[in-house]
Chain A
Amino acid sequence: MKISFKLNNKNVTIDTDPMRRLLDIIREDFHLTGTKEGCGEGECGACTVLLDGKPVTSCLVNAVHIDGKEVMTSEGIAQEPLGKLLIDCFDETNAVQCGFCFPGFLVTSYHYVKTDGEKNLDKIKKALSGNICRCTGYQKIFESVMMACERN
């Protein structure tokens, strides 16, 4: 099936199995490997991307579903001013450990700061509650997002 969509602000078209996972399309067809597979079943958030501006687990999204839509990955967000600001904050707190979960956290945090942006710990925890991190204990992640809310 022909699928046309916007990927990190560029129009693209692919011919693919309509049930193929968005995660595989991003990684295999476009070599954007920032989007990770941690579980393949919606449980970890390492594969988070924005679909029409909303964070989704790309391991559970099928190709047919992205036709005519906009997809943003961590690579795309890193180019946006707000993405850059978030990266600065995560960097400053030394929050990043193994980093496998972080492109996902970047995407979800970006969505939070952009759409809500209140410097409120409870809200931030809730917004990030679909992203698992096994290394950090999360506190430095919260700190970074709070910092980004303040600076934005």
Chain B
Amino acid sequence: MKCVRKFDARPKLDGSWKFIDDYSYPEMIHGQLLYSKCHHGYIKKINFPENYDLSEFTIVSSKDIPGENIVPEPVCDQPFMMDKEVMHYGQGILGIAHPDRKLLLKFIKETKIEYEELPAITDIKECLNNPDNVFGRELTIDHRTGKKPDPHWDHHHKIYYTPHQEQAYLEPQGMIAVWQPKDKIMFVRATCQCPFFVKEGVEAIMGDSIKEAIIETSEGIGGAFGGKEDFPSLLAGITSLLSYKSGKPVKIVLEREDDIRITTKRHPSRIEIETWTDPEAKKIMKIDIDYRLDAGAYQTLSPVVLARGVLHSISGYSIPDTFIRGRLFRSNTPSNGAFRGFGAPQAFAAMEAHIDEIAAGMNINPYKFRKKNIFKIGDEFPTTQPILENHLSDCLERVIEKSNYFQKLEEFKEWNKTHKDKKGIGISIGYHGGGYTGNGEKVLNSEVKVVIEKDATVKIFVANTDMGQGAHTTLAQMFFEAIDHPREKCLVQLPNTSKTPNSGPTVASRTIYIIGNLLRKFAFKIKDELEFENLEEYVTSNQNEFPREFRMNFVQDPSVVFDDENYVGVAYKDYSWAACVTEIYFLADTYQIELTKSWNVMDIGKVVNQKIATGQAEGGVLQGLAYGLCEFFYKSGYGRMHGFTDYALPTTLDLPEIDVEFIHTDSPIAKGLGEIPMDFPAPSVRNAFHNATGIFIDEYPLVPERIFKHLKKI
């Protein structure tokens, strides 16, 4: 648990660390996308403004694509640029480049497109309530007993809605493509999470016209949270095409308003839950979950989000009779994509709300009800995966204890009797399976490379990027701590697809969990192989052996066997667990909820770097709380938001005091941390509001306008 400092903090502070827009190449020109403002239809005509010399512009459309007009994704259905029909608002129609960025933006603003509009699905509820919109594979986890529910059991049936969430990485999406005709290489500098995804994307769009695409990330990746998982492939494709056609380096950096309009968001969901609970034993006996996601116009990676959502949808409770069904719904909006949590935050938002619903119905304290039903050793996930530890329950107990939950419950009850404003306290729990789902890690077959130089410098080559989560510091730390090597002599290299083996994408909380633990093993393996006590001394006395390269692949634990057809088996080898208690203050005059304190206890296994881990957790918890409280992107009848003026991110004055504690840190392995802090906090806000006012709201976020409507109804 050492607190090694980040190697990149200082240059980031003084401004010398380069983000995508800070790079420049000789003769570089600027590109932008001309995208659709119509949701569905045909383009009748594109009218470019007059008074511009069109010969100065490079313009590409889908007709210019030498390769394939399909972005490589888990489901390959999304074109790089519109083909015949506009399928959603924000769809790329043309790529346009010009040496003067300002002039280019003006040109695009003044370009007018005439559409022949077709019927479109743009409203979230309309989309999710109409089974005609279902597309892609339906997932089911069927663990039914076939028995009829006992008529004495308490029946609860509810529908929960969650909104879009914008990643709002502070650095907008950007890409630079440099076409090198002599070698037929397309070099791309990217702010992205997954350089190899970008490589596949560029190679798909460029086809045989290039020999290879080489992707190198920018030094700084200004936040991603999932938002830079798949959209960069599309952007890199179009940027490359522009570079190919113009023969010049092309840089596209999106304006914030465009970024917000056209990039992927968290999937809105409609989750219907039906439960039957034994009132004597206080045990949930049977559950039916209908989990629906608005995927946007194309499936892209949504099936993977759906899979994780479905697998987490029961939350942390052991229920003997379960049926879970997951489906994707199509709309004429930009494809929704990855965002920290990947389907799990929606799942917990619904199920953790539902648990309080049942508890209230049976007049039992929500903590006590959770304790009755929470996973214990010997229980199973709905996929039949056995539960091997009681750590979820430990998290819950610890957070109840440290937050003084029961005392506050009483205090608030008293206080509320004499005050117009109300105080409330709420609980939620969550967990996150580390790494790719099911057999995913086997298929990925991640490889890492290490080069030991003559001066005993260890260079680590992984494809995983550092987008702020401190991955490169922590990964290096896992290696050098294992063999007691000086930290200055162990550095993760900037990911570059021509130098770095494919250690998989930087997603799914897998970087430290899969790659970090692999590097640790790798360090021991090299030590065994070379039989050294001290690497520096060894290198000094065996100079002729160096520089030397080592490679190692990830081998999945044999216990991970997953039947992808029937959703049976071990979906994730290791889970991180968490529980949370949030206190709120409700303002009666304005119907606003203020967050006052949030207690969070997590088991992420071994904590490699305490301060980095705490920082990750604090940031994730704030995103999670804001997801429950205030962030939304679309309002029925009023459309989508356009920038940071509308999409109001929490400021320094909006956060509660966030307390984070890690337990079971004596574990030998570091488990996933990236996503779990985002998974569970939202429903604690909703449950605290119920505690304060006695009112359940089943739609997130709990903005004052929604609260007002509920209060007026009652």
Contacts and interface: CB of A to CB of B under 8 A. Distances in A.
The short answer to whether A and B are in direct contact, CB under 8 Å, is: yes
Interface majority SS (helix, strand, loop, mixed), chain B: loop
Interface string A57-87: 0000000000000000111001000000011
A20 to B, nearest CB: 9
A98 B658 CA distance: 20
A92 B591 CA distance: 40
Interface in B665-684: none
B275 to A, nearest CB: 34
A22 interface: no
Given A137-B621, A137-B658, A41 B643 contact: yes
Interface stretch (B59-67, B131-139, B645-653): B645-653
Interface in B455-488: 467-470
B611 A34 contact: no
B262 to A, nearest CB: 16
Interface in B321-375: none
Nearest to B256: A39
A31 to B, nearest CB: 8
A126 B651 CA distance: 10
Contacts of A41: 256, 643-645
A101 B223 CA distance: 10
Interface majority SS (helix, strand, loop, mixed), chain A: loop
Given A41-B643, A94-B609, A131 B14 contact: no
Contact of A94 (B5, B170, B222): B5
Interface string B614-637: 111011111100000000000000
Interface in A24-68: 32-41, 43-44, 46
Interface residues of A, number: 51
Contacts of A129: 651-653
Contact of B21 (A37, A86, A106): A37
Contacts of B470: 94, 97
Nearest to A105: B13
Contact of A102 (B13, B612, B649): B13
A46 B612 contact: no
B261 to A, nearest CB: 14
B13 A73 contact: no
B221 A98 contact: yes
A147 interface: no
Given A32-B15, A35-B15, A97 B619 contact: yes
Given A78-B15, A140-B618, A98 B220 contact: yes
Interface string B220-231: 111111000000
A10 interface: no
B220 A100 contact: yes
A1 B612 CA distance: 48
Contacts of B651: 129-130, 132
B171 A98 contact: yes
Contact of A91 (B9, B168, B467, B658): B9
B170 A87 contact: no
A43 B644 contact: yes
B294 to A, nearest CB: 23
A132 B649 contact: yes
Interface centre among A102, A132, A134, A137 (most CB of B within 10 A): A137
B255 interface: yes
A146 interface: no
Contacts of B618: 136-140
Contact of B5 (A35, A91, A135, A142): A91
B9 A126 contact: no
B511 to A, nearest CB: 14
A2 interface: no
Contacts of B224: 98
B14 A94 contact: no
Contacts of A90: 9, 13
B463 to A, nearest CB: 18
A125 interface: yes
B622 A137 contact: yes
A149 interface: no
A96 B6 contact: yes
Interface centre among A43, A87, A140 (most CB of B within 10 A): A43
B545 interface: no
Nearest to A95: B615
A11 to B, nearest CB: 21
A126 B171 contact: no
Contacts of B468: 97-100, 135
Contacts of A148: none
B171 A39 contact: no
A133 interface: yes
Given A39-B643, A40-B256, A134-B169, A100 B222 contact: yes
Interface of A: 32-41, 43-44, 46, 73-75, 78, 86-87, 90-103, 106, 125-126, 128-142
28 contacts: A33-B21, A33-B22, A35-B15, A38-B172, A40-B255, A73-B15, A78-B15, A86-B13, A91-B9, A97-B223, A97-B468, A97-B469, A98-B220, A98-B224, A99-B13, A99-B17, A100-B169, A102-B12, A126-B653, A132-B651, A134-B169, A136-B618, A136-B619, A139-B618, A139-B658, A140-B615, A140-B618, A141-B652
Given A38-B256, A74-B14, A100-B19, 8 more contacts: A33-B15, A35-B15, A94-B470, A94-B612, A103-B15, A128-B652, A133-B170, A134-B649
